[in-house]
């Protein structure tokens, strides 16, 4: 375990950097995929949403197994399998660009890339978060989740505009190459760290863990819907309106998210996790409403910023409540299954909102985001009654 103070930051820094690099591989293709599929290859919004959502569905199907592997085999094992799988998704994107294929063949390689990333992310993120908790100690789980959350959404916010820029300059091939490279860099960092011991424990059925964490997990899932909506459909919404630089709005979301994490990481402890979650979800709801009604790209960017300000503290607040609910030898499974709720949101939102936008237009995506955050607000009292913040 890393001692408290400055050395704690030093001990957590390589884990946070590896999370950032791993999630760059996940985020760089997001906006680029929607434009490649919807613009260059001519597929409809349902196919766009389905392909983007497939990654999260693949992640969801393996979260519990990834947590079990971390608990019984140690976090390092999960990481060393997950990061190469993430890099292989970039290989699939490269092949879709360089091989002489029709649109169906290119689509098949993109689907393969999304599935590979889903399996890889399930393993490497669960492993990295479990490694961070092992290095700092269970009493600093909140700090680990806060800083890894910063890394995740900094990567998501920076990766999307970076991917769009690379695609505009060099085509989708550049997106694939970047996706190959960043997990390899993360792997080079992790192999230099000493492995954390496995905590062991008996095999636990998934329904047992879910029964302890489903309330904070469901709030997390609903709070993730606005991000899923923006990642899949904001570039298409901007293009349909004739607006440019959708990447600025996505960057604004990430910048606001990181700013709140940096200036207010102790707010859930100081004022209570449930109270902070209520305020955060209210900001998210306002941001989605503003995106829906925005008459200009500047107003839309303000909506994305409000969404990022709101979402920032939901993840660590709900994550602390989830991990407090289980014994230490089940913590990896709790982390894995808690994050599985985010996978559900990301996997289901894409195709569901794709159908909604075909019927009611692209702006309907943000109505769905607002409705989801409203539902999360209604669930907060259930958590407050059953779990102390």
Contact 275, 245 (CB under 8 A): no
Q: Please report the DSSP string for 203-220 in residue order.
A: ---HHHHHHHHHHHHHHH
Q: Which residue has the higher pLDDT, 54 or 269?
A: 54
Tell me the two tokens of residue 142: 């909140």
Is a pLDDT exceeding 60 seen at residue 384?
no
Average pLDDT score over residue span 348-358: 83
Top-confidence residue, 270 or 179: 179
Residue 335 is predicted with a pLDDT of 67
Domain ranges, ordered by start, for the chain: 10-196+206-386
Mean pLDDT of 259-277: 78
Query: How is residue 97 written in tokens?
Result: 């660009």
Measured at the CA of 234, the angle between CA 376 and CA 94, to 5 degrees, comes to: 115
Q: Which of 31-35, 186-190, 208-212, 381-385 has the lowest mean pLDDT?
A: 208-212
Q: Does domain 10-196+206-386 have CATH number 1.10.10.60?
A: no
- According to the model, what pLDDT value does residue 134 have? 80
Residue 211: its pLDDT value, please?
A: 63
Residue 4 in this model has a pLDDT that exceeds 70 = no
Of the pLDDT bands very low, low, confident and very high (cuts 50, 70, 90), residue 275 is confident
pLDDT of residue 388 exceeding 70, the answer is: no
Residue 280 to residues 50, 308, 328, 374, Cα–Cα distance (Å): 29, 9, 29, 11
Does the pLDDT of residue 331 top 70, yes or no?
no
Using CA atoms, how far apart are residues 328 and 333, in angstroms rounded to an integer?
A: 10
How far apart are alpha carbons 126 and 335 in whole angstroms?
7
Confidence of residue 386 (pLDDT cuts 50, 70, 90): very low
Q: Per-residue pLDDT for 82 more than 90?
A: yes
Q: How many CB atoms neighbour CB 113 within 10 A?
A: 26
Is 0.75 topped by the overall pTM?
Answer: no
- Tell me how far apart the alpha carbons of residues 366 and 237 are, in angstroms, rounded to a whole number: 10
User: Position of tokens 């769009």?
Assistant: 164
Q: What is the pLDDT of residue 174?
A: 96
> According to the model, what pLDDT value does residue 389 have?
42
| Residue pLDDT, tens place only, 160-176 | 888 988 998 999 999 99
pLDDT-derived band at 55, boundaries 50, 70, 90? confident
């Amino acid at each position: 375990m890393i001692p408290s103070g400055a050395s704690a930051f030093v001990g957590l820094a390589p884990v946070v950097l590896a999370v950032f690099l791993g999630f760059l591989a996940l985020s760089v293709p997001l906006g680029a995929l929607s434009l490649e599929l919807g613009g260059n290859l001519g597929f409809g919004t349902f196919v766009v949403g389905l392909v983007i959502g497939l990654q999260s569905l693949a992640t969801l199907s393996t979260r519990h197994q990834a947590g079990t592997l971390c608990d019984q085999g140690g976090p390092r094992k999960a990481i060393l399998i997950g990061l190469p799988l993430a890099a292989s998704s970039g290989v699939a994107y490269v092949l879709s660009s360089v091989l002489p294929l029709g649109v169906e063949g290119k689509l098949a390689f993109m689907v393969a890339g999304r599935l590979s990333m889903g399996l890889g992310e399930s393993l490497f993120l669960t492993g990295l978060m479990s490694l961070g908790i092992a290095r700092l100690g269970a009493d600093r789980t909140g700090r680990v989740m806060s800083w890894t959350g910063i890394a995740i959404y900094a990567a998501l916010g920076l990766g999307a505009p970076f991917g769009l820029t690379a695609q505009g300059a060099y085509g989708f091939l550049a997106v694939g190459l970047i996706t190959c490279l960043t997990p390899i860099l993360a792997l080079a960092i992790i192999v230099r760290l000493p492995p954390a011991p496995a905590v062991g424990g008996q095999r636990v059925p998934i329904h047992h863990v879910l029964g302890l964490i489903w309330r904070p997990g469901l709030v997390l899932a609903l709070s993730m819907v606005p991000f899923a909506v923006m990642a899949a459909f904001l570039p298409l919404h901007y293009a349909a309106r004739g607006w440019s630089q959708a990447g600025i709005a996505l960057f604004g979301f990430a910048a606001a998210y990181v700013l709140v994490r940096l200036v207010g990481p102790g707010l859930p402890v100081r004022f209570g996790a449930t109270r902070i979650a209520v305020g955060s979800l209210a900001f998210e709801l306002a941001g989605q409403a503003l995106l829906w009604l925005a008459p200009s790209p500047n107003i839309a960017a303000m909506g994305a910023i409000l969404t990022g300000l709101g979402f920032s503290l939901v993840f660590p607040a709900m994550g602390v409540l989830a991990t407090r609910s289980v014994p230490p030898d089940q913590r990896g499974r709790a982390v894995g299954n808690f994050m599985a709720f985010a996978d559900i949101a990301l996997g289901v939102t894409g195709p569901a909102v794709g159908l909604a936008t075909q019927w009611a237009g692209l702006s309907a995506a943000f109505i769905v985001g607002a409705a989801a955050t409203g539902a999360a607000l209604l669930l907060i009292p259930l958590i407050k009654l059953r779990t102390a913040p």
